[in-house]
Structure formats: structure tokens, C-alpha cells
Amino acid sequence: MKSSKNKIEEFIRVDHAGERGAVKIYEGQLLALNTFVKDENLKKVIEEMKVHEKEHCEFFETEIKKRKIKPTLFLPLWDLLGVGLGFGSTLLGKKAAMLCTASVEEVIDEHYQNQINQLGSDEKN
């Protein structure tokens, strides 16, 4: 059985990778929107979403440093997959891009709720 500290470290490691992955997906989408796909409205929406994801990612980066947690070794692979997924889904069109984004957000919401349910009140933040 994992200690509470280990569990929280694992949560933060996974959350950090997830938020960074989200930033990379948006970067991939913006790459497509700055090259092959011309859609200024979608670009604006994605840019805004990327700002939020960057805030989330920075939160976990601070936590990782503060708590001296090792980030996952798979980060470079994660980056590559995120950019590829964002780029590829946006090449398919606006619907595919938004479907990709909405699906990721839905999974993340569930994931965080699941973690919250497992945390004690001292780690509410």
C-alpha cells in the first residue's frame, strides 16, 4: 500500500505531465493554424485556451520544485505526442480540433475529481 506522501507525489507527477501535454496539444494546433489551416477565430480560441493550460502547468511545475518531485522520464515523448495530436487533429478541420480538445478536457475533469476524492483535507489545494 502506498503512503499518502507517495500517492500525492504520483498525483503531482501525472498532473504535471497532463497539463504539459495539454499545452503541447495547443502548441500543435497553433502550429497547424499558423501554417496549413487558416482560421483566425479558431486560432484566437486556441491561444486563449493555451494561456489557461500554461497557468495550470506552471502551478504543477512550482509544486514539483517545491516538493522535490522528479518529473516523469517520458516528458519528451509526451511533448512529441501532444504536438502531433494537436497538429494532426487541426489538419483534419475545426470539428476534429475541437473534438480533440473537448475529449481531453473531459478526461482531465474526471481525473481530477477522482484524485480529489482520494485526498485528505490537508491537500485540498
- Residue from 7, 43, 54, 56 touching Fe ion (CB under 5 A): that is 56
Sign of the Cα torsion 40, 46, 52, 54 reads: negative
The rounded distance, in Å, linking the Cα atoms of 37 and 120 is 46
Residues 15-44 that bind Fe ion (CB under 5 A): 19
Q: Does 94 bind Fe ion (CB under 5 A)?
A: no
Stretch that binds Fe ion, among 25-33, 42-50, 55-63, 74-82 (CB under 5 A): 55-63
The cell for 100 is 480533440
The rounded distance, in Å, linking the Cα atoms of 79 and 68 is 22
Stretch that binds Fe ion, among 48-56, 69-77, 79-87, 110-118 (CB under 5 A): 48-56
Judged by the rule CB under 5 A, the positions of this chain that interact with Fe ion are 19, 53, 56
